[in-house]
Amino acid sequence: MRPKFLEADMEEKIALARELMEKCELCERKCGVNRLEGEVGFCGVKEARISTYFFHYGEEPEIIPSFTIFFSGCNFNCVYCQNWDISQFPERGEVIEPEVIARIIEGAYENGAKNVNWVGGEPTPSLLYILEVLKHVRVPIPIIWNSNFYMTRKCMKILDGVIDIYLPDFKYGNDECALRLSNVPNYFKVVSRNHKLAQKQGELMIRHLVLPNHLECCTKPVLDWIADNLGTDVYLNVMGQYRPEYKAMKFKDIDRRITWKEYEEALEYARKLGFRVRG
């Protein structure tokens, strides 16, 4: 199918994104700062900065080779973040003109990229920049939104008609774990809502990273919710590659890798619910 952004009114989308940034409410923190005037909110992102971009062969097999573009900065403070060196340092990376990245994307497409994969950090703070890039892209390359899914409804409305594949991390099964490990309030209501919206807007490929000692509080509730609300036919990747990074060693429940037994229990639970397990 023809990528959605080629049919979208990108000027209108850009105008709506600019409105959201005047009193920033791109994500549910709703900091209310004027990002257009250089003010920064919780994420610390002053302008879109790209840490790196490359052909990624370690993503889900259906979407590789994926041309990933990593942004600096994030609206989460995950204590175990594997990309903490860019997610927690929004001043890192470089500012690249949208037209330049558009030409790079077109070159990636000509060299076999199946998609553009916006990631980070977190792409949400850089929504306006992403739209400005896509305005200049002239090749039919599908667009992936690789995100923690803490966007506002207004942000989701802008993404509707632009994003072909949503690739969310569904991290936690409750708000307490989200607040303690990622410093995120009201997590479950926001992220579950956005999964429902995403399923209506495009293709949905869900990731869940199994954390040590979090099967009962997070993994099983997440899988239950997905089965009950999105169906067991949805694409689900139960991920077992957790390793304690960044500040994780300070938290006794996640200061180790998961055991094979924990991972097998997660996979078996997903199978019993009726999912086609990917892991």
CATH number at residue 205: 3.20.20.70
Q: How many domains does the chain have?
A: 1
Question: What is the Cβ-side half-sphere exposure of residue 89, based on CA atoms within 13 angstroms?
Answer: 10
CA distance 244 to 224: 26
Domain assignment of residue 59, yes or no: yes
As to burial, measured by CB atoms within 10 angstroms (0-12 exposed, 13-18 middle, 19+ buried), residue 265 is middle
Q: If the chain, 279 residues long, is cut into consecutive pieces of 10 residues, what is the mean pLDDT of each piece? A: 96 98 98 97 97 97 97 98 96 97 98 98 98 98 98 98 98 98 98 98 98 98 98 97 97 98 98 90
Rounded to 5°, angle at Cα 210 from 208 and 214: 120
In a domain, 257, yes or no: yes
Query: Which residue, 94, 97, 82, 52, is CA-closest to 70?
Result: 52
Tell me if 19 is assigned to some domain.
Answer: yes
Question: Which residue in this structure is represented by tokens 């949400």?
Answer: 124
Residue 180 lies in a domain: yes
Q: Which amino acid is at 12?
A: E
In a domain, 279, yes or no: no
In a domain, 278, yes or no: no
Collect all residues with Cβ–Cβ distance below 8 Å to 18 and sequence separation of at least 6. 36, 128
Domain of residue 211 covers: 4-273
| Cβ neighbours for 181, distance < 8 A, ≥ 6 positions apart | 78, 79, 80, 172, 251, 254
How far is it, in rounded angstroms, from Cα 268 to Cα 265? 5
Distance CA 72, CA 31 (A): 18
